[in-house]
Chain A
Amino acid sequence: KQEVTQIPAALSVPEGENLVLNCSFTDSAIYNLQWFRQDPGKGLTSLLLIQSSQREQTSGRLNASLDKSSGRSTLYIAASQPGDSATYLCAVGSKAAGNKLTFGGGTRVLVKP
């Protein structure tokens, strides 16, 4: 059974600092890993999708890495801004989960001005 963990559950940083968000998963036989952002009371917005054959994906200030062998992904957000305050969730697609996504519990981020 695939399990996805995100630690810490909450994080507070001053504006301008780089953010590092962690995601770990138990079954390394994954198809892909997807990072989402969720604002309070809203749906999930896809940020980055990494296929199992890739090591990283980049979009603007966001960079996500994937290390399947160690069961880890890291989302880097450079030069954080107050508008980056949100909950970030990672989700893993794997055969162990019947080809569906397994979600982590999320990391709630607060960027202080």
Chain B
Amino acid sequence: DVKVTQSSRYLVKRTGEKVFLECVQDMDHENMFWYRQDPGLGLRLIYFSYDVKMKEKGDIPEGYSVSREKKERFSLILESASTNQTSMYLCASSLRQGPLLYGYTFGSGTRLTVV
């Protein structure tokens, strides 16, 4: 069964900490995405990547960075965590072949609380 795996379901971090959220997919997908989801605001795209070493800013990249050293792994980094980054973080992946021919597959999410 193909999947997208997010390493942590729940995380509690302190303000100012550097936080790493990891996402691994086993489907050989080229595209990977990081979203955050907040009540009333829906899903908002933070960063995405279409290939190894590539990254593109999404709609809300401020306060975040990403790393994609291997095709299967896409990491989201909170350089200095703040309380307004408390949220549900969702990772997704898709094939590049044709424009979105096969849809997205999502991970189970990481609920991050910054105190």
Do the two chains bind? yes
Residues of A in contact with B (beta carbons under 8 Å apart)? 31-32, 34, 36, 41-46, 49, 51, 89, 91, 93, 95, 99-101, 103-106
Question: A41 and B111 in contact (CB under 8 A), knowing A32-B100, A49-B103?
Answer: yes
Contact of A101 among B6, B100, B108, B111 (CB under 8 A): B100
CB contact between B90 and one of A44, A95, A99 (< 8 Å): that residue = A44
The residues of B that contact A42 with a CB separation of less than 8 Å are: 108-109
A-B contact count (CB 8 A): 52
How far in angstroms is the closest Cβ of chain A from B84?
A: 20
B76 to chain A, nearest CB (A): 15
By a beta-carbon cutoff of 8 Å, the part of chain B in contact with chain A is: 6, 33, 42-43, 45, 48, 88, 90, 92, 98-109, 111
Contact B43 A43 (CB under 8 A): no
Task: For residue A88, give the distance in angstroms from its CB to the closest CB of chain B.
Answer: 13
Report the separation of the CA atoms of residues A104 and B37 in the bound assembly, to the nearest whole angstrom. Answer: 12
Given contacts A43-B109, A44-B90, A93-B99, 10 further A-B contacts (CB under 8 A): A32-B100, A32-B101, A42-B108, A43-B6, A44-B92, A46-B104, A49-B102, A91-B104, A93-B100, A106-B42
